[in-house]
Structure 1
Amino acid sequence: MKTVAVMQPYFFPYAGYYRLLAAADTFVILDCVQFPRRGRVHRCALPGTGRWITLPVEPAPRDSLIREMRLAPDAAERLRAQCRKLPSPMHGDTPLRRQVADLLASPEGPLVPYLERSLRVVAEAFGFGCQICRSSDLDLPASLGAEQRIIEIVRRHGGTRYINSPGGTGLYNFDTFRRAGIELKFLTPYQGGNTHFLSAIFEKNVADLCGDIAGGCTFQPVPAEELPEGRSFRGDTRKP
């Protein structure tokens, strides 16, 4: 069984997001959809402040796709001022902190490669062995609806299981995926304490962060009404 996760790229999201990279064989950056102006693709929250660190992007038409967005020419200067709000590193310097600091100091060019670098830095530091790629490389038909787009992405990557965050439970139909030969699974709600991951990188050690993410890779049971006839109720399972 090959497990595929598909998600918009977020700028250092909450730790629960990274469970998709920990649990998947292939993680597909969904960059062929519209850029959400007030979403988390280009910003992350700071703990206890109600404020955000926002990647400065160039002005673009409202219907621009994520893959079409570019960082602003003065992004480095503007991001540097925002990053002064981050906590000072505790427990000394680490390779992960150095790489993240380098990323924060050098935002330039297209947005997606920059966000992909940030995902790879974390995945490699934590030993997540998933393949990371982009949906825009598949040249998918623009006519595909949201659910069919995901199914086609999973198919193109040879996937037999699609996993999603708990927030996606209202978006996808178990039977639609089943008829496509794909098992649909949702992660359980994140219960860890690292909801502000960028700050946590500078405050906590890699082992604790990795343990928090990997330990939360459990899946919700399939609702009884969604089970095929003759199948028993399935409880939470971890990555096979």
Structure 2
Amino acid sequence: MAIHQPNLFPRLSTLAKLFAADCWIVLDDVQFARRDFQHRARLGSMSNPARHQWLSIPTHLPDGRSTLVRDAVVVDPDRSRRRVMHMLTQYYAKIPTGR
């Protein structure tokens, strides 16, 4: 059994934990943390490991800082989806796809 808070892009260690578990529990009854990875991810550069860029999804917290993860709402989901796809495409467009 494994339990984890949701993240925008889970880390490989989280995916490994999910793969190894017989039962997966999403911990969504905890406080939403603006400075955590629940609504954002740090994109790494393939050419320069020291360089990174943040990708964030705009969220509305109906109860302010005390909002639970499950109660957070994505602001304008269609626009957010397009923005994420555009940003990922731009950021990783020049990565070689084979040798």
TM-score, scaled relative to structure 1: 0.33
1:81 Cα deviation (Å)? 4.2
1:77 Cα deviation (Å)? 4.2
Structure 2 counterpart of 1:70, from 70, 73, 80 = 73
Aligned to 1:83: 88
Size of the aligned set, in residue pairs, is: 88
Aligned to 1:9: 6
Counterpart of 1:36 in 2: which secondary structure?
coil
Structure 1 counterpart of 2:29, from 19, 32, 39 = 32
Gap runs ≥5 in structure 2? none
Separation in structure 2 between the aligned mates of residue 59 and residue 24 of structure 1, nearest angstrom? 31
Q: Is the 8 A contact 1:31 1:66 kept in 2?
A: yes
Separation in structure 2 between the aligned mates of residue 16 and residue 86 of structure 1, nearest angstrom? 23
1:7 Cα deviation (Å)? 0.5
Aligned to 1:55: 57
- Counterpart amino acid of residue 71 in structure 1: V
Counterpart of 2:25 in 1: which secondary structure?
strand
1:56 Cα deviation (Å)? 1.9
Deviations 1:86-138 (A, max 9, x none): 313725xxxxxxxxxxxxxxxxxxxxxxxxxxxxxxxxxxxxxxxxxxxxxxx
TM-score, scaled relative to structure 2: 0.74
Q: Structure 1 vs Structure 2: percent identity of aligned residues?
A: 28
Higher helix share: 1
Separation in structure 1 between the aligned mates of residue 29 and residue 61 of structure 2, nearest angstrom? 18
State which structure, 1 or 2, has the greater radius of gyration over its C-alpha atoms: 1
Separation in structure 2 between the aligned mates of residue 59 and residue 86 of structure 1, nearest angstrom? 28
**1:43 and 2:48 are equivalent in the alignment:** no
- Counterpart amino acid of residue 28 in structure 2: D
**Aligned ranges for residues 163-182 of structure 1 at < 5 Å?**
none
- Counterpart amino acid of residue 8 in structure 1: Q
Gap runs ≥5 in structure 1? 92-240
Aligned to 1:129: none
Separation in structure 2 between the aligned mates of residue 59 and residue 66 of structure 1, nearest angstrom? 9
Deviations 1:170-209 (A, max 9, x none): xxxxxxxxxxxxxxxxxxxxxxxxxxxxxxxxxxxxxxxx
Higher strand share: 2
Counterpart of 1:45 in 2: which secondary structure?
strand
1:41 Cα deviation (Å)? 1.0
